Amino acid sequence: MADAPEEPKISKRAAEKEAKKAAAKAAKAAGKANAAASKPTGPPEPTDPFKQGWLKGVYGEKPVKDVHTRFPPEPNGYLHIGHAKAITVNFGFAKSYGGACNLRFDDTNPSKEEERYFTSIKEMVSWLGFEPAKITHSSDDFDKLYELAEELTRRRKAYVCHCTPAEVKKGRGQLPGGEFGPRSACEHWSRSVDENLAEFKAMREGKYKPGEALLRMKQYLATKPEEYEIGEEDSVEVKKEKEKLKALADNPALWDCAAYRVTKNSHHHRTGDKWRIYPTYEFTHCIVDALEDISHSLCTVEFETLRPAYNWLLEELDMKERGSDEKGPMQREYGRLNVEGTILSKRRIAMLVEGTALGAPATTDVADDMDEMTLAEEGETEPEAPSEAAKTVTNGTGRKIPPAVRGWDDPRLFTLVALRRRGVPPGALKKFVLDLGVTKANANTMTHILDASIRTYLERTVPRLMLVLDPIKVTITNLPDDYVEEREVPFDPKDKEKGTHKVPFTKTIYIDRDDFREEDDPDFFRLAPGKSVGLLNVEHPIRCTSFKKDSASGKVSEIKAEYGADVPAGKARIHWIGHSAAHNSPVRAEARIFNPLFRTLKPNELDWKNGGYHDDLNPDSLVVYKDAMIETGFHHIREHAPWPKEEGEARGTADKSSVRFQGLRSAFFALDADSTDDKIILNRVVSLKEDTGKK
Ligand SMILES: [Zn+2]
């Protein structure tokens, strides 16, 4: 019918206009219908990662109104990238279900706690964009914990044991070769309640030195195989009960673990000299979860074998119903984030930061041996023996190994303070964690996967500038001395919202040394004698007519070139910075380029006992360009940080590292903490493309 002769003829443009109008009308109507349809269920949240998959399942197991989680770091070190997952999971889960998350300092180990760790942990949580409902300390509950330990003793579920660490191990069936033999309870197991209470009090009052007394939980160490051996005449129910008992009796986490110990250094950061005995992680963690009304106690998978012990203690103290998660906290475990290609172990990072001396006398610390019975803290790559550095005793060469990095926040490390200093945006880290997924399985990844994720994140979220790392002066001979052309340049050609700025194009410009070759090559498309190249954001190309070299260094010191419509077009466009005193251009900067700290991709497999790791350090892990130059648009970017705006630093948590930009054809950069008003120092966040190691 469209081609019916009586149809009035309309122009193509008018027809398009009509069609657009009709489409808009239809869209509006559809929108209204959608809004009406979705009203009862509220706004759709298809992208909330906490309402999908494993996390959704965890909520489904305990769908309470008041979701309450906690992030419980030990304040004895700096957090690393693995903790970014723990923070994101705990805070994000609570936030997503309208609940609250506490930041709890698990400060039960007085000898290892320092103020700087508390401060840094608080800062990192807030930098990642989370606000704790409360900041608590396990030490807040020391009185209550002590009372509960006494109560447990009164209930015949704890005893004071004076066995040596070796005897404790032997009783637990732990043979020297890591094998397990038969288990047995020690002579202290059968003490009376009164004797136990008196001895526990004596521990508190300082009668015992570290290693001389332990309060142990009376779990399943004394359970004999005949109690759970299934007999032919056993009924189905009895068999089931026996199977349950066998599982508990076979779990090392239930072999009468320590609840309280006497510590070597008893002065506590918060409670001073009040206590000589301190509760263990196993005793403290679940009780404090219950005292803080935690509904979902989320931790990493290595704690899964500890879950029966977690429940056992709460059940024995009537803080949880037997065999049910309905009342009291419910522990669930997600896979940890493992990043290969870097070192995350606190003790190893300490060796990198502080250096280490080989051949120093071994420190055999009974209290440390006792701590070995507890697990490594959350977030460590692997459970490890304490004071690895102190125990690195070999042939007694007395070799001193110097520090490999400048500090805990050295951008070559993967502590959170280091990643922040390097310029990694908090939103990129959270996205990285969630993109890898939160499930029961460990998320194993590599540093270059993280870099790729950061790169994608920064691509459209930060502005772009021209930056020259290693400048060569170019004099454009056919321009007048006072020539100034202000070129209007967008901060992001694909995002008008970021705006534009002006850069001066003048007779003297600077280009990157990499973009010039003294001898031309048919495969080289940038500047060379007699060859043209285009300039980004400038109308015409330049052609090199001659160059000069510095006699001392042998390096090219100046290029002479001509510019204009007559110059033949080049095959590429390069970045540049114009010299203009009136514009205070260029802006001078020091640029620090970070490369992997080690040559191997698997630094955890290096020799950390005898210092062999030091021989594998990458000599080019830090490359400094002292005379880098940035265009004047940098001032605008510095004033308008943080970049990115969305999912970036909130007000108050933005420091210098939030000044981020993409150096065109170069890399992503961020302002370093050492920068001052007079001296700009930039850190490379990531390269623009993955560095394959090939030139
Ligand atoms: Zn004993």
pLDDT of residue 22: 52
Please list, residue by residue across 271-286, b when 16 or more beta carbons sit within 10 angstroms of its beta carbon and e when fewer do.
beeebbbbbbbbbbbb
Residue 372 CA to ligand 1 centre (angstroms): 17
Q: What pLDDT is attached to residue 245?
A: 96
Q: In Å, what is the CA distance from 116 to each residue of 264, 445, 452, 655? A: 22, 29, 32, 18
Measured in Å, residue 202 CA sits from the centre of ligand 1 at 16
pLDDT value at 25 more than 80: no
Query: Of all residues in the chain, what percent carry a pLDDT higher than 70?
Result: 86
Mean pLDDT (whole number) for 152-168: 96
Could you tell me if 504 and 484 are in contact, meaning their C-beta atoms sit under 8 angstroms apart? yes
Distance spanning both ends of the chain, measured CA to CA: 65
CA dihedral for 654, 592, 404, 346, sign (positive or negative): positive
- In degrees and rounded to multiples of 5, residue 170 shows phi and psi of -60, -45
Within 10 Å of residue 42's Cβ, how many Cβ atoms?
7
pLDDT in tens, 479-509: 999 999 999 999 999 999 999 999 999 999 9
| Mean model confidence pLDDT for the chain | 88
Q: Which of 685, 673, 674, 667 is nearest to 630 (CA)?
A: 667
Q: How far is the CA of 220 from the centre of ligand 1 (A)?
A: 15
Q: 10 Å Cβ neighbour count for 397? A: 10
The per-residue pLDDT for 335 is 97
Q: With helix as H, strand as E and coil as C, how does 518-573 read? A: CCCCCCCCCECECCEEEECCCCCCEEEEEEEECCCCCCEEEEEEEECCCCCCCCCE
In the reported structure, the alpha carbon of residue 186 is separated from the centroid of ligand 1 by a whole-number distance in angstroms of 5
Confidence of residue 33 (pLDDT cuts 50, 70, 90): very low
Residue pair 11/17 in contact by the 8 Å Cβ criterion: no
Positions annotated as catalytic residues are 74, 336, 346
- Maximum distance among all Cα pairs of the chain, rounded to whole angstroms: 111
Question: How does residue 37 score in pLDDT terms, banded at 50, 70 and 90?
Answer: very low
| Per-residue pLDDT, 112 | 67
- 171: CA distance to ligand 1 center in Å? 8
Residues within 5 A (CB) of ion ligand 1: 161, 163, 186, 188
Tokens (6 digits) for 293? 């009304």
What is the structure's pLDDT at 358?
79
CA–centroid distance, residue 386 to ligand 1 (Å) = 23
Tens of pLDDT, residue by residue over 353-381, are 999 987 654 443 333 433 333 333 333 33
The reported pLDDT for the residue numbered 9 is 38
CA dihedral 288, 291, 295, 300 (to 10 degrees): 0
CA of 614 to the centre of ligand 1 (A): 43
pLDDT digits (tens, 9 = 90+) for 83-93: 999 999 999 99
- How many C-alpha atoms does 360 have within 13 Å on its Cβ side? 16
What is the residue whose two structure tokens read 């001066």? Answer: 504
Per-residue pLDDT band at 30 (split at 50, 70, 90): very low
Whole-number Å distance, alpha carbon 187 to ligand 1 midpoint, is 6
154 alpha carbon – ligand 1 mean position (Å): 18
Give the position of tokens 């009780």.
Answer: 287
Spatial contact of 267 and 197, defined as CB atoms under 8 Å apart: no
C-alpha 161 – ligand 1 centre gap (Å):
4
The predicted-structure confidence for 183-215, as pLDDT tens digits, reads as follows: 999 999 999 999 999 999 999 999 999 999 999
Q: What is the pLDDT of residue 398?
A: 67
Residue 503, token pair as written in the block: 């850069």
pTM: 0.86
- Reported as a pLDDT band with limits 50, 70 and 90, residue 41 is low
102 alpha carbon – ligand 1 mean position (Å): 37
pLDDT at residue 606, as a whole number: 96
Distance 210 CA to ligand 1 centre (A): 15
The Å distance, Cα 409 to ligand 1 centre, comes to 44
Dist. CA 155 → ligand 1 center (Å): 19
Q: How far apart are CA 267 and CA 504, in angstroms?
A: 63
pLDDT, position 46: 58
**Statement: residue 403 has pLDDT above 70:** yes
What is the C-alpha separation between 259 and 218, in angstroms, rounded? 10
Ligand 1 center–CA 164 separation, angstroms: 8
Tell me the mean pLDDT in the region 304-330: 96
Report whether 288 contacts 317 (CB < 8 A): no
